[in-house]
Amino acid sequence: MRINKYMSESGACSRRVADQWIEAGRVRINGQIATLGSQVNPGDEVLLDDQPLGKRRRTVYIALNKPRGITSTTAQDVAGNIVAYVNYAERIFPIGRLDKDSEGLILLTNDGDIVNKILRVENNHEKEYVVTVDRPITNAFLAGMASGVRILGRMTNPCVVTREGPNTFRIVLTQGLNRQIRRMCEAFNYRVRKLQRVRIMHIELGDLPYGRWRELTSSERKQLLAPAGNELSKVE
């Protein structure tokens, strides 16, 4: 088995991240530094940062109500990284990202292979946010946000935007451009004061307390993995 596939099946990371760690010299097979083409045979000892990679006991899917100031990265040298914050008993990593200055729903897993499959179809997934800006919103602002905004050299996709209060609106995106909502607001001379993600696909933040996490229900897991399975069947 190729080393990156072995690492993803162990739950350590996705294959893409495994390749990065291998290139950085962090992985050893039987004491030898692994390369991207290395193979793992039964009985081989595989170490990541001098720690053994074992077989995954079970797949884990976690919903976290991420606080502001926590960074969606597995890099242990980053203060406030999400993995250290959750402090789960085994290696997990985030599915997608949520800006450091944003809060709300983010998913984490130890299922390395499934991450890339989910991300491949991520642009078709609805993600819902509640946003508070620095001054009263207008009908023109809501209409402009909904119809598409030019940021990063391209137009954003049309989306659903509704008023929640004088300075607050709800927006449903099917894109994941870098700091998309903040950049869209800035195009209309608004500044985001609070940005909270409240839903990813069918998974809702609900009443999950700020800074706490829970494991997904069996129904949530099944629906989450269904699009990934469909995408996988197209390329196998």
44 counts as catalytic: no
What letter does residue 25 receive in the DSSP assignment? T
Q: Which of 49, 50, 99, 111 is catalytic?
A: 99
- CA 84 to chain CA centroid, Å, is 16
Q: Apex CA 184: angle with CA 131 and CA 207, to 5°?
A: 20
Task: Name beta bridge partners: 197.
Answer: 104, 129
Could you give the CA distance from residue 63 to residue 220 in angstroms, rounded to a whole number?
10
Amino acid identity of 5? K
Q: Cβ(187)–Cβ(149) under 8 Å?
A: yes
Tokens 């449903």 locate to: 172
CA distance 76 to 59: 22
C-alpha 7/C-alpha 56 separation (Å) is 10
Q: Which residues are catalytic?
A: 99
